[in-house]
Amino acid sequence: MKYPKYPVFASENPFIYEFFSEGPRGKIRKAVFYTKIGSNLYNLGFGDWNEELQDVDDSNRTNNGDRDQVLATVAATAITFTNHFPDAEIFVQGSTPARTRLYQMGIGYNLLEINEHFHVRGFTDDDWEAFQHGRNYSALLINRK
């Protein structure tokens, strides 16, 4: 991808990653994880680490001025994850329609490069279709080519 990526820390299993966003609002710990929800199906979880809750939280916008670098880093973890599980289907849905739209914008801006590695489908009103930049989707499904 054309955007730089943050260095990533991974747990000893390929499902868990974290990195630190750096910007005007300081250093923010980001969690990325893949949760098995079917035989080859994984949900992509992503959010900020909330020290107070001791849990991941995606209810706030971070506004750290590095959206594209953050999304590029998350996308890079998907490449790493699917190196381990090449048949995995990754389900992506934001906590709100606006957040799902943010993810699809990130994909849209990097579509050429993402298409080198992944098939991306989006769910419209009643069906899945091949991802098209500018369309609005309520969920995304990604798998390796």
Partner 1 sequence: MSTRIHNKGILSITIDPNIPDFNKSAFALKKAERARAFIAKHGLPKDAKPSKKGK
* From candidates 25, 26, 65, 80, binder to partner 1 by CB under 8 A: 80
Q: Is 33 among the residues that bind partner 1 (CB under 8 A)?
A: yes
Q: CB of residue 16 vs partner 1: minimum separation in angstroms?
A: 6
Residue 133 and residue 140 in contact, taking contact as beta carbons nearer than 8 Å: no
Mark residue 39 as left, alpha or beta (left: phi above 0; alpha: psi -120 to 50; beta: remaining): alpha
Instruction: Transcribe 18-43 into DSSP letters.
Output: EEEEEETTEEEEEEEEEEE-SSSEEE
Taking CB under 8 A as the rule, does residue 102 contact partner 1? no
Does residue 116 interact with partner 1 by CB under 8 A?
A: no
77 makes contact with partner 1 (CB under 8 A) = yes
Q: How far is the CB of 63 from partner 1 (least distance, A)?
A: 20
Smallest separation, CB 49 to partner 1 (Å):
8
Select from 20-28, 61-69, 102-110, 136-144 the region that touches partner 1 (CB under 8 A): 136-144
| Burial classification of residue 7, based on how many CB atoms lie within 10 Å of its CB (0-12 exposed, 13-18 middle, 19 or more buried) | exposed
For residue 103, the cross-strand partners are none
Residues binding partner 1: number (CB under 8 A): 45
Spell out the residues 6+ positions from residue 74 whose beta carbon is closer than 8 angstroms to its own: 32, 44, 46, 106
Nearest residue (CB) to partner 1, 24 versus 41: 41
Q: Does 28 bind partner 1 (CB under 8 A)?
A: no
Q: Which is nearer to partner 1, 64 or 77 (CB)?
A: 77
